[in-house]
Structure formats: C-alpha cells, structure tokens
C-alpha cells in the first residue's frame, strides 16, 4: 500500500501497525518471554493492541503498570509531611529488576504531559525524583547495560498534544500528534518492517564508519557552544537495532535517528547551550547553558526550570558529568517536521545531544561482565540519572579529533559530511 494511502486509513489500523512494530521491531520479542509494560492511562487503546500482538508473538505473560496524571498531582498537592517525598516504591522496582533477571522484556509506552509538575514545588519534585532514581537503580542498570531487550514507543495523549499544538482544540491536537507519531515511527510506509530494516542499515553503516575512526574527542561549535567531548577509552558507537546481552535484537527507541557512544567522564571541556527545551519529570527546562571543567559542570543556567536543573545536577557525583553523546542529522524526519515535541524520545532524535548521568556500558568494547569500577577507569560515568538534552541544530558544526590530534570535519550545518550521509 502506498504511503499516502496508508496515511488516510483509520486510526485503529495505524495503531495496530504501531503496536506490531513495538513488539516485532522494538522488542524483537522471543517466544516464551514475559513483558513488563508501563503506560499512562490514556494509552490503553494502544496498550491493548500491544498486548494482543505480544501474546500472538508468543509472550507468556504481559504485566501492565498504568500511571495517571491526576493521581501523580494529588501527591504533590496533598501528601505530608515533606519526608513523604523521600519515599519511592523500591519493592516495585526491585520486582521489575528480578523480572528482568528472569528473562522478561521491558516495554514503556510514553506520552506524559511535559508540564504536568511545572506549577508544583520544585523541592518536592526534586526529592521525589531522587528517591525514585535511587529505588529504580537496580532495574536501570540492567537497561543501560543492555542486559535485556527493551523498547520505548510513543502514544498521543491530550496533555502532551496540548504542548505540541497549543492553538488547537484537544481532539484536533491529539489527531495531529498521532499523524506526527506515525510519520516519525515509519508506520505509514508500505512495509514498515522492511523500512525499519533499511533505516537500521543506514545507522549501522554510520556506526561502522565512526568506530573505524576511533576518534579521541568530538568538538561541537555553534551559537553559545564551544564544547570538547573526550570519548571513553575503547568506546563503541551504537545505533538502531542491536543485540542485547540476552541475544535478542531489538530497537530500544521507536522512533530513532541517533548514533551514540560513551564520553569520558573526566574529559569534557567548554561551554554548551541547549537548542531545544528539556522535558524532565513533568518540568520544562528551557535555554540551558552550562560550562564544563575536567568533565564536570561547574556553571549552569536556564531561563525556565533553573531550580529543577540545579537540583538534578546535585543528585549525586555523576549527575553533573556526561554519560552519552549522540549525533543526529538536522535533516532527520523529526527535525524536518518543524515540531517541538517537548518529549525526549522525539526531540533527542531531532538534534545531536548529550546526556547527563549514567553511561551506557554497552558502548564500551569488551565490557560484558566487567565491574563498574573498572569501566570507570576507561571513562564510563555512574549516576542515578540519565537525562538527554539537545545541543544540535542547523547552526552547529562537529569535528572529530584523532589520537594524533588531526581534526576531521564530521558535521556542517547540522549535516554529516563524512562517512555515510
């Protein structure tokens, strides 16, 4: 079916295609696996289709964990005393970690309202986020270490749609957001599975080129940005579909346009300015500007959400250091849409970005089974958080610096000029 004809089909048919992609391409579900699934309550129509496809593909059990915005807000408005915000459901996250250790896959349907907590007490938000990060650590380490197959897939919700299309009625905004999601996720292709195979091949070719170069550092230049990101010793570029350590090939993010690797936590220098707002746990942080010295952020500012940013950076020792650097062409489909999604799953795939906090140890050669303190000697950062924020645009240039000090152009005007373009 031609793409334009697919775009005119019913919402139900396109939802079904997205659900199929989440299971078949996103998770690469292996028959006999369980799935731990999280989703907002508004996503139930998509969730039901995902569960149906999962069982048809051989899942033994799908366990859904459903969240609700009004329930979340009730905590911040009525819970007391303040110490209540130092509590998180560690028992739940420990159980999730045990499920992953037992072979379960992780699937998260995302569509949170990016400004849900913007009017709540930043101190309470920061304390609750820190408590959750500490409790979630056992499960997060299995995800960032790629021990399991996992996937994030989007769902249009009214709260999110209002942020992307503020001048439209809710029903129209949700419809427009669905159209944008289906386009970015390649749902409307004549054969979306084949289209994802072609896209993954492009990302893999880009990774092969960068891995062959084995650059010492990347140099980003643009408005408000002059940043040198040293790369970890034995770093490895990843992107698109990859085999998890359980042997299952999955696409962790749908959509995805990035290739990414592990920076050296001690070798980042200079200044950098965000090119898109960061949506973090219901707070929108805008116009981030920071300065790094010896790998650590020593100055940080933001025009909005600055207090939350400051508290995030103080989460732990690794929160003010980098755990990821990623390259994304300015011409990516998400960037070309012209939309600000205020959702990291999308905005990180519209622009090159960096991430504060925990490193993906899978982006280090020969890292399987190596203790974190040994990987830290190679530059891998450790933290309770992992937060991506965007630093790329059509005005940003990137150079690769070789071990001998030679400088090679990588990106100009936000586009790749070396390797597969």
Write the pLDDT tens digit of every residue in 63-90: 999 999 999 999 999 999 999 999 999 9
Residue with tokens 């969240």: 67
Do 415 and 330 form a contact (C-beta atoms < 8 A)? yes
- Check whether residue 371 and residue 266 sit in a common domain: yes
User: Does the pLDDT of residue 174 top 70, yes or no?
Assistant: yes
What percent of the chain is modeled with pLDDT above 70?
Answer: 98
Residue 204 located in a structural domain: yes
- Check whether residue 42 and residue 131 sit in a common domain: yes
User: Does the pLDDT of residue 289 top 60, yes or no?
Assistant: yes
How far is residue 187's CA from residue 189's CA, in Å, rounded to a whole number? 6
For the chain, the domain total comes to: 2
User: Does the pLDDT of residue 322 top 70, yes or no?
Assistant: yes
Q: Which residue has the higher pLDDT, 118 or 7?
A: 118
Q: CB neighbours of 170 closer than 8 A, spacing ≥ 6?
A: 158, 161, 162
- Check whether residue 302 and residue 398 sit in a common domain: yes
Q: Which residue has the higher pLDDT, 370 or 35?
A: 35
Band the pLDDT of 406: cuts 50, 70, 90: very high
- Check whether residue 265 and residue 397 sit in a common domain: yes
- Check whether residue 179 and residue 200 sit in a common domain: no
The pLDDT of 282-303, averaged and rounded, is 95
216-225, 260-269, 347-356, 364-373 — which is least confidently predicted? Answer: 364-373
Q: How far apart are the first and last CA of the chain?
A: 28
Band the pLDDT of 369: cuts 50, 70, 90: confident
Residue 196 located in a structural domain: yes
CA angle 234, 415, 213 (to 5 degrees): 25
Band the pLDDT of 122: cuts 50, 70, 90: confident
Indicate which CATH number applies to the domain containing 30.
3.40.1830.10
Among the candidates 184, 213, 232, a domain finishes at 184
Tell me what pLDDT residue 126 has. Answer: 87
What percent of the chain is modeled with pLDDT above 90?
Answer: 87
Residue 9 located in a structural domain: yes
- Check whether residue 200 and residue 163 sit in a common domain: no
7-11, 117-121, 149-153, 308-312 — which is least confidently predicted? Answer: 7-11
Among the candidates 137, 160, 184, a domain finishes at 184
- Check whether residue 292 and residue 206 sit in a common domain: yes
User: Does the pLDDT of residue 407 top 80, yes or no?
Assistant: yes
Tell me what pLDDT residue 5 has. Answer: 45
The pLDDT of 110-122, averaged and rounded, is 91
- Check whether residue 279 and residue 147 sit in a common domain: no
The pLDDT of 303-324, averaged and rounded, is 95
Residue 177 located in a structural domain: yes
> What sign results for the dihedral spanned by CA atoms 220, 232, 400, 354?
negative
Tell me what pLDDT residue 300 has. Answer: 98
Tell me what pLDDT residue 96 has. Answer: 98
- Check whether residue 157 and residue 219 sit in a common domain: no
Residue 216 domain boundaries: 192-245+252-416
Residue 421 located in a structural domain: no
The pLDDT of 362-388, averaged and rounded, is 92
Tell me what pLDDT residue 9 has. Answer: 77
- Check whether residue 230 and residue 309 sit in a common domain: yes
User: Does the pLDDT of residue 209 top 70, yes or no?
Assistant: yes
The pLDDT of 89-117, averaged and rounded, is 96
Q: Mapped to the 3 state alphabet, what secondary structure does the chain carry?
A: CCHHHHHCCCHHHHHHHHHHHHHHHHHCCCCCCEEEEEEEHHHHHHHHHHHHHHHHCCCCEEEEEEECHHHHHHHHHHCCCHHHHHCCCHHHHHHHHHHHHCCCEEEEEECCCCCCCCCCCHHHHHHHHHHHHHHHHHHHHHHHCCCCCEEEEECCCHHHHHHHCCCCCHHHHHHHHHHHHHHHCCCCCCCHHHHHHHHHHHHHHHHHHHHHHCCCEEEEEECCEEEEEEECCCECCECCCEECCCCCEECCECCCCCEEECEEEEEEEEEEECCCCEEECCEEEECCEEEEECCEEEEEECCECHHHHHHHHCCCHHHHCEEEEEECCCCCHHHHCCCCCCCHHHHCCCCCEEEEECCCHHHECCCCCCCHHHHHHCCCCCCCCEEEEECCCCCCEEEEECCCCCEEEEEECCEECCCCC
Residue 131 located in a structural domain: yes
- Check whether residue 212 and residue 72 sit in a common domain: no
Band the pLDDT of 6: cuts 50, 70, 90: low
Tell me what pLDDT residue 1 has. Answer: 43
Among the candidates 164, 184, 204, a domain finishes at 184
Band the pLDDT of 302: cuts 50, 70, 90: very high
The pLDDT of 379-391, averaged and rounded, is 94
- Check whether residue 334 and residue 197 sit in a common domain: yes
Exposed, middle or buried: residue 175 (CB in 10 Å: 0-12, 13-18, 19+)?
A: middle
Band the pLDDT of 2: cuts 50, 70, 90: very low
Residue 156 located in a structural domain: yes
pTM above 0.75, yes or no: yes
Backbone angles phi, psi at 231, to 5 degrees: -100, 145
Length of the chain, in residues:
421
């Amino acid at each position: 079916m031609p793409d334009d004809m697919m775009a005119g089909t019913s919402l139900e048919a396109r939802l079904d295609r997205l659900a199929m992609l989440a299971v078949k391409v996103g998770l690469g579900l292996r028959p006999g696996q369980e799935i731990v699934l999280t989703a907002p309550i508004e996503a139930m129509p998509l969730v039901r289709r995902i569960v149906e496809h999962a069982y048809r593909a051989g899942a033994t059990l799908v366990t859904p964990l459903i969240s609700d915005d009004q329930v979340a807000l009730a905590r911040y408005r009525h819970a007391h005393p303040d110490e209540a915000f130092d509590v998180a459901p560690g028992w739940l996250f420990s159980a999730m970690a045990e499920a992953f250790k037992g072979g379960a896959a992780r699937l998260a349907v995302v569509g949170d309202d990016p400004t849900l907590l913007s009017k709540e007490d930043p101190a309470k938000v920061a304390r609750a986020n820190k408590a959750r990060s500490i409790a979630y650590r056992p499960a997060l380490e299995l995800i960032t270490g790629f021990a399991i197959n996992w996937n994030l897939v989007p769902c249009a919700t009214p709260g999110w749609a209002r942020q992307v299309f503020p001048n439209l009625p809710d029903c129209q905004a949700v419809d427009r957001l669905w159209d944008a999601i289906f386009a970015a996720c390649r749902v409307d292709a004549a054969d979306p599975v084949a289209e994802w195979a072609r896209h993954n091949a492009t990302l893999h070719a880009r990774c092969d080129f960068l891995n062959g170069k084995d650059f010492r550092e990347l140099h980003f230049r643009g408005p408000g940005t002059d940043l040198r990101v040293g790369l970890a010793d034995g770093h490895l570029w990843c992107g698109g579909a990859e085999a998890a350590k359980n042997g299952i090939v999955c696409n962790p993010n749908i959509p995805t346009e990035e290739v990414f690797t592990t920076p050296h936590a001690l070798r980042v220098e200079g200044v950098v300015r965000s090119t898109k707002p960061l949506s973090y746990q219901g707070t929108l942080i805008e116009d981030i500007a920071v300065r790094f010295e010896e790998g650590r952020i020593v100055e940080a500012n933001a025009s909005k959400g600055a207090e939350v940013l400051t508290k995030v950076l103080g989460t732990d020792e690794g929160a003010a250091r980098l755990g990821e650097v990623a390259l994304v062409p300015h011409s990516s489909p998400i960037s070309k849409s012209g939309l600000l999604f205020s959702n990291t799953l999308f905005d990180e795939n519209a622009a090159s970005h960096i991430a504060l906090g925990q490193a993906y140890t899978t982006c280090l050669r020969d890292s399987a089974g190596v203790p974190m303190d040994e990987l830290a000697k190679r530059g891998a950062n450790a933290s309770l958080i992992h937060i991506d924020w965007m630093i790329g645009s059509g005005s940003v240039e990137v150079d690769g610096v070789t071990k001998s000090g030679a400088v090679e152009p990588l990106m100009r005007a936000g586009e790749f000029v070396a390797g597969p373009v």
